[in-house]
Structure 1
Amino acid sequence: MLNEVIFFDTLRQGLWIAVLVSMPILTVALVAGVSIGLVQALTSIQEMTLTFVPKLAAIVVVFWLSMGFMTHTLVSFFQSRIIPLIVGG
């Protein structure tokens, strides 16, 4: 039987894993957005694709580079926490 303490601890740990997994992508999106916005403000170029394309490219590159970390983190969370709860252990 799943009591409230185990449920809320698993939920808290799952939210922390979600933060850890999304941190590289969100950090790169923030840095790329601020730097491109600064370049646009300095040069007075107001082109919408100038913000979208480089940010998307940076996010895809970082996602590709951090896929191993994300997969390992999620698999270890599921193997150590979720699957034993499903099985009943």
Structure 2
Amino acid sequence: MDEFQIYDTLRQGLWIAVVISTPILVVALVAGLIIGLFQALTSIQEMTLTFVPKLGAMLVVFWMTMGFMTETLVSFFKSGLVPLIAGV
């Protein structure tokens, strides 16, 4: 295995990490913006008001996209890493 295969595999793994984490990060961003806007409009400065709804939204999205995440990781492992480890 040469260094180009290592770099290509690392690049693919990092891209898959970005694709997998995107739904959760987008929901956290949107929930944070909405809650921040609500806090600014009502002058409520409660710290748990930002944390708890954002965490709940992230958990819901994680639960909804868990199948996609697992499928993506398993396909990368089977098609990308196992052949490299086996030397095929």
Give TM-score scaled by structure 2 length. Answer: 0.98
Aligned to 1:70: 69
Q: Structure 2: state its 5+ residue gaps.
A: none
Which amino acid letter does the alignment assign opposite residue 7 of structure 1? I
RMSD: 0.5
How far residue 3 of structure 1 moved from its aligned partner, in angstroms, is 0.2
CA distance in 2, matches of 1:44, 1:84: 57
Q: Which runs of 4+ in 1 moved over 2 A?
A: none
How far residue 35 of structure 1 moved from its aligned partner, in angstroms, is 0.6
Aligned to 2:36: 37
1:1-80 to structure 2, matched below 5 A, reads: 2-80=1-79
Percent identity, aligned pairs only, is: 72
Q: Structure 1: state its 5+ residue gaps.
A: none
Q: Deviations over 1:21-78 (max 9, x none)?
A: 0000000000000110000001000000100110000000000000000000000000
Which amino acid letter does the alignment assign opposite residue 66 of structure 1? T
